[in-house]
Structure 1
Amino acid sequence: MNRAALAAANADLDQRERGRKLRIGFFVFMALLMQLAFVVSYTGALHAPQPPHRMPVGVVAPPQVVQQLQKMADESGPLFTFKPQASPETAANAIHHRSVLGAYLPAAVGTTDQLLVTTAIGPAAPQALTLAFTRAAQSQQHTLQVKDVLPPHRGDDEGLVPFYLVIAWTVGGYLASTLVGLMGGMQSATPRLALERIGMLAAYSVLGGIGGTLIVHTIMGFLGGAWWTQALIGMLVVFCVSVFANGLQTFLGLVGTGIVIGLFVILGNPSGAGPWPRNMLPAFWRVIGPWLPNFQGTNAVRGVAYFHSQGLGTAIWVFVAYAAIGLVLSVAGAGRDNPILRMSEH
């Protein structure tokens, strides 16, 4: 090889090495940004429960009394939304169907008010309700008696088992898609191969949903409720996350993986209403939560376990929407070339 050819080969090698270093630098920088976003999101959302925001509370009292209580409460901010209840039994039923998170029964006779709560959603909401209505009772020289009408299942004392179960399903979903992409290429070569990959992710989702429910519901005995319904929720969570991740990775490669982690881990977990209910999250996470599978999965599992499957229908629609978007992106992007995908794979 003559000197000119050798110099050209060395220049080409140097150029490729510079390109490789730039790509590595880009992804390291993106990892740093995600790490910082992780800190902001988790500490911002979960550093402490916020004061309740329009927390629905039943009140067993005449409508005019409820209106007066609402007016007095609103002077301290939008803490509670009071809903009249006809009787203590009606109020307890409303808690069981999660239309309210507690119920206040001011004494018609005597000086002992009553507060009905459920610790199945964790201790934060009952504690906030107890504090607020203890003060309300004391202002009338009354005492407050607290009754837990719907306690958690054994092993779920903090109400966090549904939350952590959905985290496992979510992580499993995008992890499966990412590993398949790393081994077989982020992008399928043809629409038919894209559908085959989605079929493989569907089989994985069935196993993941059944496996998670088997461990938490049957082996550990941490949750009650309809076994197959909870397994179905798990299948849908894993499937919608994995297919959505596959769709983004089809167009964006590892950049798509980063977006998925940002959406489902950095934003999704803190807004998933795990340690405390949505009404006690900061505004940003309270707003985005219902749009993400994390919140809807936790809400659905908790609903099946404790609240007569309340919230299941809405959750299924969210899961279907994410799966449909992922399916369209996966098929439409099969075999298509773009610079972002090339940068992440070479």
Structure 2
Amino acid sequence: MGTTDDGTRTRMTFAEEVRSAVTVRAALLVTGVLGLMVAFITSYAGAFHHPRPKDVPLGVVAPAPAAGQVVAKLDRLPGSPLAPRTVGSERQARQQIADRTLDAALLVAPRGTTDRLLVASGGGASLSQAVELVVQQAEKSQKRTVRTVDVIPADAADSRSLTSFYLVVGWCVGGYLCAAILAVSAGARPANGARAIIRLAALGVYALVAGLAGALVVGPVLGALPGSRYGLWGLGALIVFAVGASTLAFQSLLGVIGIGLAILLIVVLGNPSAGGAYPYPLLPPFWRAIGPALPPGAGTWAARSVAYFRGRAMTGPLLVLAAWAVGGILVTLVRSALRREAAEEDAGARPPRP
């Protein structure tokens, strides 16, 4: 309804009702949400619809005359599912699997036709099964058989080695939701440096509590994941803070749209490329390339290392998480400082009130 100059009420047209009910800003935000939904479906379907192994690091232990021939045959398999290399002994093969430089190792029997395949389902059950299938088919063509030995098995309570992934996803969700609440609770953007510092400090306290809570749930409460509780606690705190700080940074640059950008990177792109349901060698090239550089991927790799590999091969993932955390802090503080300078200049340019 509207009013005329003489005060009488008039009925609004349908177009006017629409403009009144849905503002341009709301329409743009809804369009952005639609885009996120389409990107979500595309990313998850693209990453998971056809998993197949590609260049899986595989060690080959065999007598000297045969080792080169076995490596050459495995390297020529259609689609290049394996990246075989010779290893001097079974002990070295087991050590390299424990160090996460190999995903599996084939031990060729010097006598007989039954070989052994060493795998580590703690690093991802789907990857171990995929390697086993490829090696079985290759051995069958040579009229040989293979017996699989899981040298680092997933815990009985850790179904398909997915608990680490779900734990990291929970930490990431907690990080960006906490940051979003802090960011919108008192205005769309931080007004000054003090407010930005307070928000980052509050996020740090929250990250410590969230990291401990996640470690306790998957450890003493559910018994779903082995490994150091203190290690998981520290890792969880770093993941939560890294995701939260980067969300604050995006929001300080772009306002509410920045929160959507954080969801795009962490949820839409980060989760399917994290190597959780399907480790990196099973993902398509795009997701395999971006996964290690995003917090969910770095966190999932590090969580599995803490749980099953005694904290080995964690330097790279920890540096990635630290970069997101430090980058988020710097962008948030610099942006708030620039906004303060702009506000002071604007205030100085205004004529004094009479």
Same fold (TM over 0.5): yes
Cα distance per residue 1:85-143 (max 9 Å; x no partner): 22222212221221111110112111111111122133322222222221222222222
> Which position in structure 1 is the counterpart of 2:74?
73
SS in 2 for 1:86: coil
- Provide the rounded CA distance (Å) in 1 between the counterparts of 2:5 and 2:335: 44
**DSSP-derived class of the 1:221 partner:** coil
One-letter amino acid matched to 2:72: K
Structure 1 position 41, deviation (Å)? 0.3
User: What corresponds to 2:327 in structure 1?
Assistant: 325
What CA deviation, in whole Å up to 9, does each residue of 1:192-220 have, x standing for no partner?
A: 22111100000000000011001111211
Q: Match for residue 288 of structure 2?
A: 286
In the TM superposition, what is the alpha-carbon distance from 1:236 to its structure 2 partner? 0.4
Alignment of 1:325-344 (within 5 A): 325-334=327-336, 336=339
Q: In the TM superposition, what are the counterparts of 1:37-52 in structure 2 within 5 Å?
A: 37-50=39-52, 52=53
State which of 222, 233, 238 in structure 1 corresponds to 2:224: 222
Inter-partner Cα distance in structure 1 for 2:272 and 2:57:
22
1:54 maps to amino acid = D
What is the rounded CA distance, in whole Å, between the counterparts of 2:261 and 2:20 in structure 1? 26
CA distance in 2, matches of 1:19, 1:331: 37
RMSD: 2.7
Change in 2 beyond 3 A, CA 1:74/1:84: closer
2:109 aligned counterpart, secondary structure:
coil
Cα contact 2:100–2:313 (8 A) shared by 1: no
Please name the residue that 1:10 is paired with.
none
Tell me which residue corresponds to 1:192.
194
Deviates more, 1:102-111 or 1:54-63: 54-63
Quick one: which amino acid aligns to residue 298 of structure 2? Q
Residue 273 of structure 1, CA deviation: 0.2
Match of 1:97 in 2: 99
Alignment of 1:81-92 (within 5 A): 81-92=83-94
Q: Distance in 2 between matches of 1:46 and 1:136?
A: 25
- Structure-2 separation of matches of 1:87 and 1:121: 22
Please give the TM-score of this superposition, normalised by the length of structure 1.
0.89
1:280-324 CA distance string (max 9 Å, x none): 101110000111011010000100111121232112211111112
Structure 1: any 5+ residue segments left out of the alignment?
5-13, 339-346
Comparing 151-160 and 128-137, the one that deviates more: 128-137
2:247 equivalent in structure 1: 245
Q: Which runs of 4+ in 1 moved over 6 A?
A: 17-20
TM-score (norm 2): 0.87
For 2:285 and 2:294, the matched residues in 1 are separated by 15
**How far has the Cα of 1:334 moved from its partner?**
1.7
Percent of aligned pairs with the same amino acid:
35
Offset of 1:65 from its aligned partner?
A: 3.7
Matched, 1:112 2:114: yes
Quick one: which of 189, 206, 209 aligns to 1:207? Answer: 209
Contact 1:63 / 1:84 at 8 angstroms: preserved in 2?
no
Matched residues in 1 for 2:313 and 2:177: separation?
Answer: 27
The one-letter amino acid paired with 1:286 is R
Distance 1:312 1:85, change over 3 A: same
User: Comparing 215-224 with 202-211, which one deviates more in the overlay?
Assistant: 215-224
Larger displacement relative to structure 2 (87-96 or 200-209): 87-96
| CA offsets 1:253-297 (integer angstroms, 9 cap, x no match) | 110001000000000000000012101101110000111011010
Contact in 1 for aligned 2:219/2:226 (Cα 8 Å): yes
What is the rounded CA distance, in whole Å, between the counterparts of 2:252 and 2:145 in structure 1? 62
1:343 corresponds to which residue?
A: none
State the match for 1:61 in structure 2: 62
| Alignment partner of 2:183 out of 155, 178, 181 | 181
Aligned residue pairs total 332
Matched, 1:262 2:258: no
Distance across 2 between alignment mates of 1:3 and 1:325: 57
Greater shift in the superposed pair: 167-176 or 64-73: 64-73
Q: CA deviation at 1:62?
A: 4.7
2:10 maps to none
Are the structure 2 counterparts of residues 163 and 201 from structure 1 closer, same or farther at C-alpha, using a change threshold of 3 Å? same
Q: 1:64 to 1:19 in 2, by over 3 A?
A: farther
Mark the runs of 5 or more structure 2 residues left unpaired by the alignment: 7-15, 343-354
Q: Name the residue aligned to 2:348.
A: none
Q: Secondary structure at the match of 1:178?
A: helix
SS in 1 for 2:23: helix
CA distance in 2, matches of 1:84, 1:304: 28
Q: Which residue of 1 aligns with 2:13?
A: none
1:107-186 to structure 2, matched below 5 A, reads: 107-186=109-188
Q: How far has the Cα of 1:18 moved from its partner?
A: 6.5
Structure 1 pair 3–251 and aligned structure 2 pair: CA distance change class (3 A)? same
In the superposition, relative to structure 1, how do residues 205 and 64 fare at CA in structure 2: closer, same or farther (>3 Å)? Answer: farther
Give, in angstroms, the shift of residue 20 of structure 1. Answer: 6.4
8 Å Cα contact 2:75/2:84 also seen in 1: no
Matched, 1:236 2:265: no
Distance 1:250 1:64, change over 3 A: farther
